[in-house]
Every structure is written in C-alpha cells, then in structure tokens.
C-alpha cells in the first residue's frame, strides 16, 4: 500500500489544489454548474431544470453530485469542479485495483494509475465542471468488475458480487449519460469473450448486470414517463441518428495523440521491451481485455462520430495499462535503458528551452499581449512557467546516469508542477467571462430581489451562474417593451457588445460595458435614474 500514498499525493497536487484558482473555462462548465446551482436554490432534484425549464432527457446523476458538493463547500468554482476531479482520482484507483486484484502486482498497479493521471486529456477534463469524467468513472467500474467476474472459474459468491457491482456501476453510468453506459461496455466485453472463448458467460453476465442496473435507474425512468414526449425522444432511434456527427475521423486520432501527452514520451522505452515480452504480455487475459478496450470504442467513434472527443477517455485506462506493462517489462528484462534515458533527456532539454525563453520574454514589455494575444494569461505566467520549467528540466537532466526509478519519479514530478504553476496565472477574458459578467451584474442589479435580467439563450447558463439567486433571469425571446413599465423592478438586458440586435431594442437609461458584454439598464419607475 506504500505506493498508493504516492498516487494520493500526486493526485492532490495535480488535480485538487488548482481547482478554485481559475475562473470558469467553457460554456459547458456554466451549463453544468448552473443546473446544479438551480437544484440547490429550488430544492428540486427530481427533474433537471435549466433556468426554470425542465430538461428531463438529461440524466441527473452528475448534477446531483455537483449539488451535493455545493451543499458541502458552498456555490463556488472549487465545489463545481470537485466531482470531476474526484471521478478522475477514483477512475485511477479502480484501474489500480483491477491490476492488483488480477496480477497481484502492487508496483504495476501504482504505475498504471500514475500514468493515467498524467494524461493531458484526463487532467483537462478532470479539472472542469462537466459530466464526462463522472461517466468515464462509471464505465470503468462496469468494465473492471465484469472482467474480474469473468476470471472466476465457477459461479460463486465472489462472481455474483462482482456482477452486482458491475450492474450498479452501469446504472450510475446510465443516470449520468444515458444509453452509452450500456452500449460501450458491451462493445468491449463481447469481443473479449469471443477472443477468450468465454462467450457463454454472456448468458448470465447480461441479465444480472441489467437487473442490477435497473435498481438505481428505475426511479428516474418512472419520473420520465410523466413526460411522454421526452421519454420517446430519449429512447428513439431518431435521437441516435441526430447525434451522429460529421467531424473528420482524423480529428479523433489527433485528439488521442494530444490527450496522451506527455506520457507518450515514455512509449519508446515501453516498445523496446522485445518481441518475446510483448508476445507473452498479449497472451495475458488483462492485456487482451485492454486491447479490446483500446480498439472497440475507437472504432465506434470513428464510424458514428456521435460523441464529443472527450468520450475517447473510455480507452485511456487501456493505454495506461499497456504503457505501464511495457515499461515494467522493459526494466525487468535488464535493458540498457537507452531509449528511456534519451527520451527523458530530450524532455528535460525541451523544458529548459521553454523555461529560458519564457523568462527572457518576461523582461520584454508587452510580451504577453504580443505572443498570447487571445489567451487568458497574465504577464506573470511567463515567469512562473519559466521558473517551473527550468527547475523541472534541470533536476531531470541532473539525474542523468541515475537509477531509472528515480528518473521516472522525476518525470512525473515535472508533469505535476507545470500545470500547478500555470493554473494560478489565468485571468478573466472573452473565453473566461465569469468575473466580467459577475461584476456587470453587481453594478447594475443593486437590489437583486427587484431585478430582472433578459439575455440570449446561449448566455442563460452563464448569467444564471453569475447572478444572485433572487434575480429573475429570462430568455430575451420573452422580452416585451411593456416590461419596461414595471414600477417595482429594474430591467436589464445583457448581450454581447457586437450583437446587431441592440439596434432594435428600446433606448436604455444607461449602458454598461465590461469586456465583450454590454448591459442595458431600465430602472423601475419609482427609482431614480442611473443616467
């Protein structure tokens, strides 16, 4: 268990510490956080609500978890992102437990979990408020417990317990993102059963899993039957056809390559383990299962392209496992570690070059505005990034000639400190409008209980997240000039400054602009003008 202390420290440093240090990133973050915030404010958890409108086709599990986080830690960015971060950590733990249970190898289990947490896409998705990471956690739980159940030679109590856990995990996945929680595991499990000659196991795996999955899902399905149109749409083939994407197939390949950075720096060492070692490795049950997990979801997304690229994360546990097994075989075979040392030396030199360049740019006035014009960065990012990169690169290069184990630890150390320093240098901007909109609302809606905000449909989650719970928020499509005759409430309209619709709106008492947003203020008739 001593290695799991390292994993825990690595996870806390890389995932938990930076959570509250930056503003919200993307519209999906505002969507997710605003829904959970509305659950807490209204006390209505049975149906997912978006600004008062029911959206029952959206499974509620991820929003329940975020709402629970808000109850514990308050409505803030840290609490909004915490469920995703914990889901990433639990997924890594599930992978480690799978390796430990099947191979009885604690070192390999710890290495696999650390590799998984080091993937750039896992770090990114696990650090924002979103459904995806929670869904990946549930699917990983389903796949891992099903695999362990298949390894049991007889139908005993342990096998039944594992299948029950698999079903419950599938049910939680269904409550997070719907049918993919059942479809994607089957795409992996059925080919594996065929390869391993255990297809008959499906005769009891499938019914037990589905029955247990129905336990957490049934109450929500009963709630959905109250909305027949939503129910039909959620389970219809039409909804599946509409979800089929048109993105070029190669974008998934590029995202896979970018998402596994910087761990693929270790791949040359993993691939140099020798033909016999790889042959022996891929005759193992866990390696065959990892191969199915790597290939089948990728084929599914390449054919249908009906999921966000982030759902490729379902294959990342397999990549982490194969990489860790290759590294272990490479070092256990007594190799000269040349490819491993060379790749780490190149990584160290790259860090030194980037760090030195950043420090030099920090002394040049306006370097951030010129080099990072469209990025939400402060000038200090150059200094922080430069210093951390120089430290990491220097330490890693200084360890040249040392043991491979210490150099591997130092590699993961550089993976951890760079994002940690980088996250504290983000500032609000056009793509991070949280603080901008919050200050705009605070300046205009002085009395929240007597304020009404109209905004565009795509901005509703953003405004809902930033606004006080006592402020009424409505779609701009509901706006009527007669609303301006309200004697008690101040009416505000928030839109982007470039929106041509400003030309058709009534002349406001005053206009306030912050960043790319403008707010038109129409004071109540019994209040003094703010002109």
Task: Note the pLDDT of residue 406.
Answer: 84
Instruction: Kindly list the domain boundaries of the chain, sorted by start residue.
Output: 25-227+245-332, 338-423, 434-522
Q: Is 129's pLDDT higher than 50?
A: yes
Residue 369 is encoded by which pair of tokens?
């505005």
Query: pLDDT, tens digit, for every residue of 161-193?
Result: 999 999 999 999 999 988 889 989 999 999 999
Mean pLDDT, all residues of the chain: 84
Q: How far apart are the first and last CA of the chain?
A: 66
CA 155 vs CA 150, 168, 188, 205, 305: distances in Å:
9, 19, 22, 11, 38
- 3-state helix, strand and coil shares in percent for the chain, rounded to the nearest 5: 70, 5, 25
186 φ, ψ (degrees, to nearest 5): -65, -35
Are 286 and 181 in contact by the 8 Å Cβ rule? The answer is: no
> Containing H/E element for 434?
helix 434-444
CA 302 vs CA 149, 185, 297, 305, 481: distances in Å:
30, 17, 9, 6, 49
> Containing H/E element for 49?
strand 49-50
Specify the higher pLDDT residue, 141 or 337.
141
Task: Note the pLDDT of residue 168.
Answer: 96
> Containing H/E element for 518?
strand 517-522
pTM reported for the whole predicted model: 0.90
> Containing H/E element for 166?
helix 157-177
Task: Note the pLDDT of residue 497.
Answer: 87
CB 61: neighbour CB atoms within 10 A? 23
Tell me the percentage of the chain whose pLDDT exceeds 70. 84
Task: Note the pLDDT of residue 118.
Answer: 93
Q: What band does 529 get if pLDDT is binned at 50, 70 and 90?
A: very low
Q: At what angle do helices 106-118 and 2-11 cross, to 10 degrees?
A: 10
In 428-516, the DSSP E strands lie at 451-455, 472-475, 490-496, 510-514
What 3-state DSSP class applies to 465?
A: helix
Give the C-alpha separation, 57 to 178, whole Å.
Answer: 9
Q: What band does 431 get if pLDDT is binned at 50, 70 and 90?
A: low
24 φ, ψ (degrees, to nearest 5): -60, 145
């Amino acid at each position: 268990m001593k290695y799991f202390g390292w994993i825990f420290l690595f996870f806390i440093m890389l995932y938990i510490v930076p959570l509250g240090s930056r503003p919200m990133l993307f519209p999906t973050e505002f969507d997710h956080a605003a829904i959970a915030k509305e659950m807490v404010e209204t006390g209505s958890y049975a149906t997912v609500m978006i600004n008062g409108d029911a959206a029952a086709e959206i499974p509620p599990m991820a929003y329940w978890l975020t709402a629970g986080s808000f109850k514990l830690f308050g409505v803030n960015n840290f609490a909004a992102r915490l469920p995703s971060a914990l889901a990433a950590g639990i997924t890594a733990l599930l992978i480690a437990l799978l390796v430990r249970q099947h191979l009885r190898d604690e070192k390999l289990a710890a290495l696999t979990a650390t590799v998984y947490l080091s993937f750039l896409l896992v770090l990114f998705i696990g650090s924002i408020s979103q459904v995806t990471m929670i869904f990946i956690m549930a699917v990983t739980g389903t796949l891992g417990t099903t695999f362990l159940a298949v390894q049991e030679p007889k139908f005993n109590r342990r096998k039944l317990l594992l299948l029950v856990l698999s079903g419950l995990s599938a049910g939680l996945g269904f409550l997070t993102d719907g049918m993919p929680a059942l479809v994607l595991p089957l795409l992996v499990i059925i080919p594996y059963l065929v390869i391993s000659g255990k297809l008959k196991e499906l005769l009891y795996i499938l019914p037990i899993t589905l029955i247990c999955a129905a336990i957490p899902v049934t109450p929500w399905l009963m709630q959905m039957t109250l909305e027949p149109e939503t129910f039909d749409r959620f389970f219809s083939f039409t909804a599946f056809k509409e979800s089929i994407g048109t993105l070029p197939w190669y974008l998934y390949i590029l995202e896979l390559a970018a998402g596994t950075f910087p761990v693929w720096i270790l791949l040359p060492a993993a691939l140099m383990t020798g033909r016999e070692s790889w042959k022996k490795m891929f005759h193992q049950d866990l390696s065959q299962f990892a191969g199915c997990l790597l290939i089948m979801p990728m084929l599914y997304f390449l054919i249908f392209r009906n999921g966000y690229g982030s759902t490729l994360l379902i294959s990342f546990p397999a990549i982490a496992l194969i990489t860790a097994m290759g590294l272990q075989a490479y070092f256990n075979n007594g190799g000269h570690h040349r490819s491993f040392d060379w790749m780490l030396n190149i990584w160290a030199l790259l860090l030194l070059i980037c760090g030195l360049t950043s420090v030099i740019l920090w002394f040049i006035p306006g370097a951030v505005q010129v080099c990072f014009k469209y990025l939400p960065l402060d000038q200090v990012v150059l200094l922080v990034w430069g210093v951390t990169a120089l430290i990491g690169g220097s330490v890693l290069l200084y360890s040249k000639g040392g043991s491979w184990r210490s150099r591997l630890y130092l590699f993961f150390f550089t993976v951890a400190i760079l994002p940690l320093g980088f996250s504290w240098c983000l500032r609000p901007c056009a793509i991070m409008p949280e603080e901008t909109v919050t200050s705009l609302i605070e300046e205009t809606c002085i009395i929240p209980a007597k304020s009404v905000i109209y905004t565009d449909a795509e901005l509703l989650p953003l405004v809902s997240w930033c606004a006080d719970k006592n402020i009424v928020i409505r779609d701009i499509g509901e706006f009527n000039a007669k609303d301006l005759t309200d004697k008690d409430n101040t009416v505000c309209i928030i839109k982007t400054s470039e929106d041509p619709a400003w030309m058709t709106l009534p002349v406001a008492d005053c206009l306030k602009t912050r960043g790319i947003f403008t707010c038109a203020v129409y004071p109540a008739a019994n209040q003094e003008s703010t002109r």
